[in-house]
Structure 1
Amino acid sequence: MEIEFDTQQEAADFYRRLPSSFRQLNGVLQINNRLAVFPEKTADFKEFAQLITRYIIDLYEKKWIMEIIEKFYYFTDPEEQVAILNIVSAIFAGEKNDLPQIEVLKDRRETIMESLEGMLHEHHSFSFASIIRFRLTAYKEALRRFVEVAIDEYKLEQEYQVFVDKLRRIIRAYKPLCEKIEVYDEHPFRLYDDRHRLIRNMQSVRSFYPLLKQWGIEAEPSIVLSLIALAPKQVIVYTNRPDSGVMKTLHHVFEDRVCFVHSSLRMTSENRIMQ
């Protein structure tokens, strides 16, 4: 079969990207702006489709995603565009598997492969430009869906950041009520004051929630808001899950005021206090 490129340079670039083992096994030859390929087995056709897929993704995917972000969803600010692109890239890298809708989105590599495999078997000659123009409709639609999910995540991250910034301002605005609070990550959380007394009367904490409305915050009671109401200068959290969502929020809100300690060290602290 022959595949034609727009320029000799483009043909040479694609040729160089082919593994040498594939070039030798399938007798790949570059003739000006064309590549002659002689696959014999179904596996060879599939591998060639994979190589074209990788080439398309490497050369065009980022540009097309940015176009989708701007032309379909009207994000024109370069920083916002890059932020959304980074979320899409994280999704592709498997770093955002907990996001809604990810499981129902089709793998974009498989989408390209399905568009190519039949064509490679049926046509002895075709142009790379025809692939780009006519064969990738399903792939571009898949990209649009990934961008849509990424934009939803971006908006949630922005809302979360606004929420965290408000909580930080509250901490700075109110006078600390105690030096230190120790938090035991249990169900429910247990809080101790700087004399290691269990904080049982949370009435003053509950009365704090109406004040949050003055800051434009509508939130259910949580360990984060309880600690803000107590306004300690230092928070020590004994936990086995410092990377969990609630612990990350504590870190973002209290910044250098919070310290995470493994739960196994809690007994050491308690024994020291008893002595």
Structure 2
Amino acid sequence: MIEIYFEQTTDAEKLFAVFTAYKNEPSLCFTYDGDKRITIHIDKKAMEMIQTTVIPAMTQFMFRFIEDRLLLSIISNDFYYKNVEEQQQILQLAHSFIDGERYDYRNGKQQAESRETFIKQALTEFLSDDISFSFESFLYFRLKNYKERLLHYVELAIDEYKLEQEYQNFIQTLRDCLVSRPAKLSIIHLLHQESTFTFYDEYFCEISAKELRKLIDRTLIVNQPMYIDSSVLAPLVSIAPKTIYLYTGNSDDGMVQTIQNLFQERLKLYDLDFFLQSKQAYCKKIR
């Protein structure tokens, strides 16, 4: 028999619900006292049920109901983020690393052992028949490797959060610059091909790199706390066009996204193929 005690009744209820989702065998039975204790009755001849049923169920319970609580505790207590909105943003970023959406740039590779492996290893080493324990004590004393992995993901998330905050401040600073800046050119056509951006004026005449450098406001670059790209962003902000027609085959490109965030309603986004059509239509119009 295994007895698990909880500090919170709600946790006991949740784990019992997870257990009961597994089919009760004659050799394995889960009971809940209605308060804070779950009892697992196991036939001594079927101890493998711990591996095949109890441990997978408890691992699922950890992921569904406990992991976010641990992550938020790390965010709040280890890194002192007390604002609920900030906590939720960092938590969301931590999940993006956990789910593999973001690259772990510190290790430069995927983690060798999964969080699931750490939990199952700890439970395998700890659980046996005729044991009675506090779930909170198990969390505190037996899951060191698992919690260290969560700490790693929170660190990555906070690094990313700080970068995004700096980026948003940078964009807002450039927006403020645009408010009072007179337009040097009313319209810019911007052609994005692979990693290259080519500038055209309102008459579809290409603006050379030399001409762009002459248009750049040097004080704009010097006064920015963050690096401002001198080939795309600096010319665009310096010119401050009333309208930008941006033609691209990759709207998810980082620079394209930054231009969208910066110029907002001034930007008109089109597919790459539309550039040639627009240029041809303009040429026919002026003939």
Category of TM-score, reference length = shorter chain: 0.7 to 0.9
What amino acid is the match of 2:17?
Answer: R
Shift in Å at residue 232 of structure 1?
A: 0.8
Percent of pairs with identical residues = 23
Q: Residues of 2 paired with 1:244 and 1:25: CA distance? A: 58
Q: SS at the partner of 2:61?
A: helix
Residue 78 (1) aligns with residue 79 (2): no
Partner of residue 194, structure 1: 202
Q: 1:149-187 deviations in whole A, cap 9, x for unaligned?
A: 111111111111111111111111210112211111125
Q: Secondary structure at the match of 2:79?
A: coil
Aligned match of 2:168: 161
Within 5 Å, which residues of 2 pair with 1:1-275? 1-6=1-6, 11-18=12-19, 20-24=21-25, 27-30=28-31, 32=33, 33=37, 34-38=39-43, 40=46, 45-97=51-103, 99-101=105-107, 103-105=109-111, 106-120=113-127, 122-129=128-135, 130-186=137-193, 188-200=196-208, 201-205=211-215, 207-275=216-284
Asked if 2 retains the 8 angstrom alpha-carbon contact of 1:183 and 1:236, the reply is yes
Cα distance change on mapping 1:25 and 1:149 into 2, 3 Å: farther
> Using a 3 Å threshold, how does the CA distance of structure 1 residues 24 and 268 change in structure 2: closer, same or farther?
farther
Unaligned runs of 5+ in 2: none
Query: Structure 1 runs of 4+ off > 4 angstroms?
Result: 7-12, 41-44
Secondary structure of the residue aligned to 2:230 is coil
Find the aligned partners of 2:49 and 2:129 in 1 and give their Cα distance. Answer: 17
Q: 1:271 to 1:25 in 2, by over 3 A?
A: farther
Taking structure 1 as the reference length, what is the TM-score of the superposition? Answer: 0.86
Q: Distance in 2 between matches of 1:246 and 1:25?
A: 62
Q: C-alpha separation between the residues in 1 aligned to 2:102 and 2:19?
A: 31
Q: Distance in 1 between matches of 2:79 and 2:264?
A: 34
Between 1:91-100 and 1:133-142, the stretch displaced more is 91-100
In structure 1, the gaps of 5 or more residues are none
Q: Which amino acid aligns with 1:194?
A: E
How far residue 47 of structure 1 moved from its aligned partner, in angstroms, is 4.3
Q: CA deviation at 1:144?
A: 1.1
Q: Secondary structure at the match of 1:260?
A: strand
Q: Structure 1 residue 43: deviation in Å?
A: 7.8
Give the TM-score of the pair, scaled to structure 2: 0.83
User: SS in structure 1 opposite 2:187?
Assistant: strand
Q: Output the CA distance in 1 between the equivalents of 2:19 and 2:218.
A: 62
Contact residue 179 and residue 194 of structure 1 kept, 8 A: yes
Structure 1 residue 222: deviation in Å?
3.2
Q: Provide, for residues 58-106 of structure 1, a one-character-per-residue CA deviation record: whole Å limited to 9, x for no partner.
A: 3322222222122222223333222212211222233323654473545
Task: Give me the CA root mean square deviation.
Answer: 2.7
